[in-house]
């Protein structure tokens, strides 16, 4: 069974949505940087760009690692790395840039807005 948690960022605010089997299969094989229509995942009129994600063990996806396998990279800075000191390289395990069934979270940002807002405005409480 394939399911993803989507985290969609829009102007500093985020929305989370759980995708089940049929909607999640549409994302399989997509890479970081690909643009996806929101009509397929329940947001009519929207367009999203995939910005990252993480697999079931929490390893982050990285754009410069091809495929879907985990790799141990030797890097100075970037996604999933904290800078210890200037020029100090660190070996970290990262996940590839392609969405596969073992990915648990997919991060996206809005590139084209639809007619209805994704984030519902807060309801004003009635004063007594």
pLDDT digits (tens, 9 = 90+) for 39-48: 888 888 899 9
* Measured distance CA(50)–CA(107) in Å, rounded: 6
Residue 3: Cβ within 10 Å count: 12
Please report whether residue 127 resides in a domain: no
* Residue 82 structure tokens: 């904290």
- Taking a C-beta distance cutoff of 8 angstroms, is the pair 9, 110 a contact? yes
Please report whether residue 122 resides in a domain: no
Please report whether residue 72 resides in a domain: yes
Please report whether residue 124 resides in a domain: no
| Stated pTM of the model | 0.82
User: Domain span at residue 94?
Assistant: 4-112
Please report whether residue 84 resides in a domain: yes
Q: Which residues of the chain have pLDDT under 70?
A: 1, 120-128
Report the SS3 class of residue 83.
Answer: coil
């Amino acid at each position: 069974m394939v399911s993803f948690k989507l985290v969609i960022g829009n102007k500093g605010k985020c929305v989370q949505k759980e995708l089940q089997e049929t909607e999640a299969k549409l994302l399989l094989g997509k890479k970081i940087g690909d643009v996806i229509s929101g009509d397929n995942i329940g947001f009519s009129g929207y367009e999203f760009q995939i910005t990252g994600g993480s697999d079931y063990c929490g390893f982050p996806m990285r754009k410069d690692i091809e495929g879907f396998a985990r790799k141990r990279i030797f890097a100075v800075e970037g996604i999933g790395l904290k800078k210890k000191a200037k020029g100090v390289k660190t070996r970290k395990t990262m996940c590839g840039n392609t969405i596969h069934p073992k990915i648990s979270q997919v991060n996206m940002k809005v590139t084209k807005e639809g007619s209805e807002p994704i984030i519902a405005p807060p309801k004003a409480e009635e004063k007594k």
